[in-house]
Amino acid sequence: MEKKRILFVSQEIYPFLPKSEISHNARKLPQGVQENGKEIRVFTPRFGSINERRHQLHEVIRLSGMNIIIDDQDHPLIIKVASIPTARIQVYFIDNDEYFKRKDNVSNEDGSDYVDNDERSMFFCRGVLETVKKLGWKPDVIHCHGWMTSLMPLYIKKIYNKDPHFADTKVVYSIYEDHEGFSQPWDARFAEKLAFDGFGEEVTSLVQNPTSEAITNAAVTFSDGVVQSSEQISKEMQSVFDKAACLKLNYLPEEHLTKGLSEFFDKVIEEGVLI
């Protein structure tokens, strides 16, 4: 029987970035799910704070070279790769000098969010999907961690849904308490940028005021499954989770998470419809 394929897409992953709830899960879950008999791939942004020499990142020339258009501007896509030897996991990094070659990852030194975080998320999600296509690897489930992955469900269900490579792909979105880098709404033109990318009013109407809550709600609206990945989440995020019309997985402690999540992926693949 062919192994089910799970694509993990995370805003951060340990040990390339400091340990956090998101980076820890993005490090441990792929390994655990792989040990549970599934095939996995892992993608993350190549933030400027990642030490390429220490972690032995190198560019994959055959995957790099395409341009991704964001808001009518061309942006070169660079793909790098590194390994976590102790976990037998290879990690792919989405890179672009304009969007990711910065000292700080998601916010300025004064704590204010980067004004182009919306475009960085668009570029990252599309970069992942285009690279996965080049790899010729069809995921059964894409599991998203962190707000930078929040547009992935929208792209899969509304832009890439006609692409045979992703026609049967399901999306699972994890909700965390940590929303560093998303304390202010995204650019007021965000809905317009999505429209330029081909999204219709069904999507753009959800993000006219692109707050963290609105973006998370849009992500969950177009997901096949949602996971509460922090034990405590804000009232706003709890409301988004509770109202979700898709399959839901409540918070699980770490010792039960890998098994519970692997079984949840199976359920999402089997049912594959909103309930």
Multiple choice CATH, 5-271, 3.40.50.300, 3.90.660.10, 2.40.30.10, 3.40.50.2000: 3.40.50.2000
pLDDT tens for the chain, 275 residues: list them. 689 999 999 999 999 999 999 999 999 999 999 999 999 999 999 999 999 999 999 999 999 999 999 999 999 999 999 999 888 899 999 999 999 998 889 998 888 999 999 999 999 999 999 999 999 999 999 999 999 999 999 999 999 999 999 999 999 999 999 888 899 999 999 999 999 999 999 999 999 999 999 999 999 999 999 999 999 999 999 999 999 999 999 999 999 999 999 999 999 999 854 43
Domain ranges for the chain, please list them.
5-271
pLDDT for 109: 86
| Residue (of 113, 174, 166, 177) closest to 140 by Cα position | 166
| Residue (of 5, 31, 7, 2) closest to 257 by Cα position | 31
CA distance 223 to 133: 20
